[in-house]
Amino acid sequence: MTYGKYPQSRLRRNRSSHWSRRLQRENHLTTNDLIYPMFVHDGSDSQITVDSMPNIYRYSVSAIVEEAKKIYDLGIPAIALFPNIEQDLKTPDGEEAANPTNLICRTIRALKKSVPQLGIISDVALDPYTTHGHDGVIAEGDVHNDRTIEILQYQAHIQAEAGCDVLAPSDMMDGRIGAIRQILEEKNLNNIQIMAYAAKYASAFYGPFRDAVGTDSDIYINKKTYQMDYANSKEAIREVALDISEGADSIIIKPGMPYLDIIRMISDEFSFPTFAYQVSGEYSMLHAAAEKGWLDLDAAIVESLTAFKRAGATGILTYFAKDAAKLLS
């Protein structure tokens, strides 16, 4: 196959004007591609600044409802909820996660009452609820897989009953997707989607998120015992295949930009709804560079999000969702 040669083929011809570049563009970013992660807290303050994430806040329940209305008006299809609960509610086994009147369930009900057309994606994991900051129950010197799944099942059930549209298990326990799908079927909640964090890597890019939800995992157990090794790619195929076979409706690759190769590989391998998560560290890193005057933030936002589409992502969870929606409009 030949692709022409110079001077008969001048590739700059198609790039010579704005209208031509638009016609030649292979991938398109729209507000339909965006999911906005949001943090909710149980205090009296309407919003609390997350110091490590510029322009990101923990909202009270009433404040997050008002903010969600603005997000819906921007055309963003869905938000992803994460709780920051009071320290005295945290326990070693994260039992507050299974409380039907907990912060996240009350928030889901309030959002669905006020903004029913906005998609609500709810995190299923124990790390915001445990004193040790891990995603599961610690037993026998490790995060115990099967004991954790029992709590995750109930956590998923009460969040679905509260009215969320999508459950997003982010814990990386083996077998939890099948267990959650089973309980949803048993409780006649079979229309609830599962968006599985199928390939979640043990990453250095999560730090600001942990500030936002108030978790700290300094305990001797390392999250590398359940999150994936960032040196591995083929292992992601097995993780994704298992989650799909157990009943996931879509999957998440996390983090985002350092893992574009994983997004492309999974997209090509499965032709399955695949979402990228542009995580907190990526967000804060771009902001920090822009504050130094080292890059144009607006341009970097659109370029980085378009890169996910180019890699094959169906959509993107990003803290830039509001900014991107405004830029794209």
Is residue 311 one of the residues assigned to a domain? no
Is residue 218 one of the residues assigned to a domain? yes
Phi-psi region of 254 (alpha: psi -120 to 50; beta: other; left: phi over 0): beta
Number of domains in the chain: 1
Band (222; pLDDT cuts 50, 70, 90): confident
Mean pLDDT of 229-255: 98
Residue 213 is predicted with a pLDDT of 74
> CA-CA distance, 240 to 248, in Å (whole number)?
9
**Which domain, by its residues, includes 141?**
27-252
Q: Give the list of residues 6+ apart from residue 3 with CB closer than 8 angstroms, or none.
A: 9
- C-beta neighbour count of 73 within 10 angstroms: 11
Query: What integer best gives the mean pLDDT of the chain?
Result: 95
Is residue 236 within 8 Å of residue 265, measured between CB atoms? yes
Catalytic residues: 200, 254
- Quick one: which of 241, 300, 301 has its CA closest to 265? 241
CATH number of the CATH domain containing 127: 3.20.20.70
Is residue 12 one of the residues assigned to a domain? no
Is residue 85 within 8 Å of residue 129, measured between CB atoms? yes
Is residue 316 within 8 Å of residue 275, measured between CB atoms? yes
Q: Give the list of residues 6+ apart from residue 316 with CB closer than 8 angstroms, or none.
A: 33, 34, 35, 256, 275, 276, 277, 278, 305, 308, 309
The yes-or-no verdict on residue 220 having pLDDT over 70 is no
Structure tokens at 11: 């590739």
**Percent of the chain scored above 90 by pLDDT?**
91
Is residue 246 one of the residues assigned to a domain? yes
Mean pLDDT of 201-213: 84
Is residue 84 one of the residues assigned to a domain? yes
Range list of H helices, 120-249: 145-162, 176-186, 207-213, 234-246
**Percent of the chain scored above 70 by pLDDT?**
98
The yes-or-no verdict on residue 308 having pLDDT over 90 is yes
The yes-or-no verdict on residue 217 having pLDDT over 70 is no
Is residue 110 one of the residues assigned to a domain? yes
Mean pLDDT of 288-293: 98
Tell me which residue has tokens 């804060």: 284
Burial of 224 (0-12, 13-18, 19+ CB in 10 A): exposed
Structure tokens at 41: 């807290």
Residue 140 is predicted with a pLDDT of 87
Mean pLDDT of 114-122: 98
Cα Rg of the chain (Å, integer): 20
What pTM was estimated for this model as a whole? 0.95
Residue 16 is predicted with a pLDDT of 96
The yes-or-no verdict on residue 325 having pLDDT over 70 is yes
> CA-CA distance, 278 to 273, in Å (whole number)?
16
> CA-CA distance, 216 to 174, in Å (whole number)?
23
Give CA angle at 37 (33, 41), nearest 5°: 160
Burial of 201 (0-12, 13-18, 19+ CB in 10 A): buried
Residue 242 is predicted with a pLDDT of 98
Band (215; pLDDT cuts 50, 70, 90): confident
Is residue 295 one of the residues assigned to a domain? no
Is residue 33 one of the residues assigned to a domain? yes
Band (3; pLDDT cuts 50, 70, 90): confident
Residues 137-189 have pLDDT tens digits of: 999 889 999 999 999 999 999 999 999 999 999 999 999 999 999 999 999 99
Residues 54-103 have pLDDT tens digits of: 999 999 999 999 999 999 999 999 999 999 999 999 999 999 999 999 99
Residue 221 is predicted with a pLDDT of 66
| Backbone φ, ψ for residue 178 (5° rounding) | -60, -40
Count how many residues are written for the chain: 329
Residue 44 is predicted with a pLDDT of 85
Band (211; pLDDT cuts 50, 70, 90): confident
